[in-house]
Amino acid sequence: MSAAGSADHHEIAYDRRRLRQWLAGEARAEGVTRRRLLTLLAATAAATGLPAPEPARAADPTIVKPLPPAWFIPRGTNAETRWEALRGTGHHTPNELFFVRNHTATPVLDADEWRLRLWGDGLRGTPGEDRPVEFGYDDLRALPAVTRTAFVECAGNGRSYYSTQQGETVTGTAWTLGAVGVARWRGVRLADVLRRAGLSPYAVDVQPRGLDAEYVSGGESLGRVRRPLPLAKALDDVLLAYEMNGEPLPYDHGYPVRVLVPSWVGIASIKWVGDIEVSAQPLYSPWNTTFYRLFGPAYPQEGSKPLTRQTIKSAFELASGATFPAGQSQVLHGRSWSGAGAVARVDVSTDGGTKWRRARLHDRPRSGTWTRWSVPWTPGTPGPTHLLARATDTAGRTQPDTAVFNTQGYLFDAVVRHPVTVV
Ligand SMILES: Nc1nc2c(c(=O)[nH]1)N[C@H]1C(S)=C(S)[C@@H](COP(=O)(O)O)O[C@H]1N2
Ligand SMILES: [Mo]
């Protein structure tokens, strides 16, 4: 990972991290504004000769970890992983390279002070009494642990291709294909925690909520990030994860504990979970009504059902516009994944979609994660061309040529035309 190698980069990263720690303390430093702390920090930096954070970032530091440009494309409060940075990494995305999707900013929480509160009329308890059940970090760590490999992928991953490939206008972050990562998650089953809290036979929905700041959209606060899960999914394969790839969850990915909902859209996997409402009635939040449904000519007026499983996609471990010398044999690498099953077949075209070849798979196909693949290629005539990859999953889904339009650009599934130049 050469990008983090330079001493300069290291110092900037250190400074940014410290800045974040200051800012995280702001909540407890009553009466001290973020602006004031930034001024103080800038003064400290000047006095010690440390590089001051660049103003553009300092005004809005929403992510704790370093974001070297060789690894990430900055996207507002979010950071997209560059696919070329995944070349040579293993099946699991290293934590340092994992994309970040923040509605506001990463809160730096203390595991010793953290509590998970379960409450609501879907829990057994004295009728009419709000009887919350609480778990601390050590309580969770004392429960039976489970480990599983799963992707987290934003529902809007690939959104920009609605515009660039299909000429359609959609709202939201203009991700290319880097709003996805695979990690080995360790934690406890949400089912175990719900049963210990005392599930009532009437429970239908379970709504985890984050401890990050309220999300303000169009001048209106929508409250803290939360989205209901049907009880059946909550009891099936959902984890309360406290480790990511063998390390405590990084701050940006939900420390100390996040929800991990395998195969579903990323929004279901609530980070920094602080409480879970267990309800005997169906629940609604902005994240299963206004957002994360499909709207558009192909869908009902009130939108589709709330989004659940992710769709199917493929990506090359290459920069957009990569160049290849003519006549030199290459091996192209990529990965394909689906929310509906394992990816067991990938076809690749190196001539813009005329001829297709079957790729060699490098992983045993498994659901909930990607399959790595490769194809040999000896580029011919110099000039621009497109590389295409089309995945088929074990549920029988294949990537189409065109994705069905929806106004918010979710669930892009069409084959992406990856531009390259033969020189
Ligand atoms: N509390 C909280 N949870 C959250 C979010 C958030 O902003 N706040 N973003 C969601 C979205 S939209 C996605 S795609 C995933 C991203 O997870 P990551 O940042 O660990 O990659 O977290 C989800 N969980
Ligand atoms: Mo997302």
> Is the pLDDT assigned to residue 10 strictly greater than 70?
no
Mean pLDDT of the chain: 88
Both tokens of residue 129?
Answer: 């009494």
Our mutation pick for probing the ligand 1 site, out of 101, 225, 247, 251, counting the most ligand atoms within 8 A of Cβ, is: 101
Report the C-alpha gap between 371 and 392 in whole angstroms. 11
Every domain range in the chain assigned CATH 3.90.420.10: 3-288
Q: What's the pLDDT at 128?
A: 55
Q: pLDDT band at 126, cuts 50/70/90?
A: low
Counting from 1 in the atom list of ligand 1, the atom nearest the Cα of 78 is 19
User: Of 150, 85, 168, which is closest to residue 310 (Cα–Cα)?
Assistant: 150
Tell me the mean pLDDT in the region 382-408. Answer: 98
Counting from 1 in the atom list of ligand 1, the atom nearest the Cα of 210 is 1
Tell me the mean pLDDT in the region 365-380. Answer: 98
Tell me the mean pLDDT in the region 120-133. Answer: 77
The per-residue pLDDT for range 151-194, each reduced to its tens digit, is 999 999 999 999 999 999 999 999 999 999 999 999 999 999 99
> Is the pLDDT assigned to residue 22 strictly greater than 50?
no
The per-residue pLDDT for range 272-283, each reduced to its tens digit, is 999 999 999 999
What's the whole-model pTM score?
0.87
Report the C-alpha gap between 323 and 338 in whole angstroms. 29
Our mutation pick for probing the ligand 1 site, out of 103, 104, 173, 245, counting the most ligand atoms within 8 A of Cβ, is: 103
d(CA 96, ligand 1 centre) in Å: 16
- Of the chain, the percentage scoring pLDDT greater than 70 comes to 84
Q: What's the pLDDT at 130?
A: 62
**Using H for helix, E for strand and C for coil, what is the string for the chain?**
CHHHHCHHHHHHHHHHHHHHHHHHHCCCCCCCCHHHHHHHHHHHHHHHCCCCCCHHHHCCCCCCCCCCCCCEEEECCEEEECHHHHCCCCCCCCHHHCCECCCCCCCCCCCCCCEEEEECCCECCCCCCCCCEEEEHHHHHCCCCEEEEEEEECCCCCCHHHHHCCCCCCCCCCCCCCCEEEEEEEEEEHHHHHHHHCECCCCCEEEEEECCCCCEECCEECCCCECCEEHHHHHHCCEEEEEECCEECCHHHCCCCEEECCCEEHHHCCCCEEEEEEECCCCCCHHHCCCCCCCCCCCCCCCCCCCCECCEEEEECCCCCEEECCCCCEEEEEEEEECCCCEEEEEEECCCCCCCEECEECCCCCCCCCEEEEEEECCCCCEEEEEEEEEEECCCCECCCCCCCCCCCCCCCCCCCEEEEEC
Tell me the mean pLDDT in the region 89-115. Answer: 98
Tell me the mean pLDDT in the region 111-128. Answer: 89
Report the C-alpha gap between 92 and 368 in whole angstroms. 12
Q: Quick check: CB of 268 below 6 Å from ligand 1?
A: no
Q: What's the pLDDT at 223?
A: 98
User: Of 398, 386, 396, 418, which is closest to residue 347 (Cα–Cα)?
Assistant: 398
Q: Which residues surround ligand 2, an ion (CB under 5 A)?
A: 101, 154, 266-267
Q: Quick check: CB of 275 below 6 Å from ligand 1?
A: no
Report the C-alpha gap between 149 and 257 in whole angstroms. 17
> Is the pLDDT assigned to residue 23 strictly greater than 90?
no
Q: What's the pLDDT at 60?
A: 55
Q: Quick check: CB of 81 below 6 Å from ligand 1?
A: no
Tell me the mean pLDDT in the region 114-141. Answer: 88
d(CA 396, ligand 2 centre) in Å: 25
| Lowest-confidence segment of 58-62, 92-96, 252-256 by average pLDDT | 58-62
d(CA 48, ligand 2 centre) in Å: 39
Counting from 1 in the atom list of ligand 1, the atom nearest the Cα of 215 is 7
Candidates 3.40.50.1820, 3.90.420.10, 3.40.30.10, 3.40.50.150; correct CATH number of 3-288?
3.90.420.10
> Is the pLDDT assigned to residue 55 strictly greater than 50?
no
> Is the pLDDT assigned to residue 49 strictly greater than 60?
no
> Is the pLDDT assigned to residue 27 strictly greater than 60?
no
The per-residue pLDDT for range 223-245, each reduced to its tens digit, is 999 999 999 999 999 999 999 99
Counting from 1 in the atom list of ligand 1, the atom nearest the Cα of 154 is 14
Tell me the mean pLDDT in the region 67-94. Answer: 98
Q: Which residue has the higher pLDDT, 343 or 51?
A: 343
Q: Quick check: CB of 63 below 6 Å from ligand 1?
A: no
Residue with the smallest CA separation from ligand 1 atom 24 is 270
d(CA 62, ligand 1 centre) in Å: 13
Q: Quick check: CB of 210 below 6 Å from ligand 1?
A: yes
Both tokens of residue 270?
Answer: 């609530």
Counting from 1 in the atom list of ligand 1, the atom nearest the Cα of 101 is 19
Q: What's the pLDDT at 58?
A: 45
Report the C-alpha gap between 362 and 383 in whole angstroms. 30
| Residue 186 β-bridge partners | 147, 243
The per-residue pLDDT for range 321-367, each reduced to its tens digit, is 999 999 999 999 999 999 999 999 999 999 999 999 999 999 999 99
Every domain range in the chain assigned CATH 2.60.40.650: 313-422
Residue with the smallest CA separation from ligand 1 atom 15 is 266
First to last CA, the chain: 27
Report the C-alpha gap between 365 and 341 in whole angstroms. 9
- At the top level of CATH, which class does the domain 313-422 belong to? mainly beta
Tell me the mean pLDDT in the region 134-163. Answer: 98
> Is the pLDDT assigned to residue 400 strictly greater than 70?
yes
> Is the pLDDT assigned to residue 3 strictly greater than 70?
no
Q: What's the pLDDT at 127?
A: 57
> Is the pLDDT assigned to residue 24 strictly greater than 70?
no
Q: Quick check: CB of 253 below 6 Å from ligand 1?
A: yes
d(CA 376, ligand 2 centre) in Å: 34
Q: What's the pLDDT at 125?
A: 76
Q: What's the pLDDT at 61?
A: 80
> Is the pLDDT assigned to residue 215 strictly greater than 50?
yes
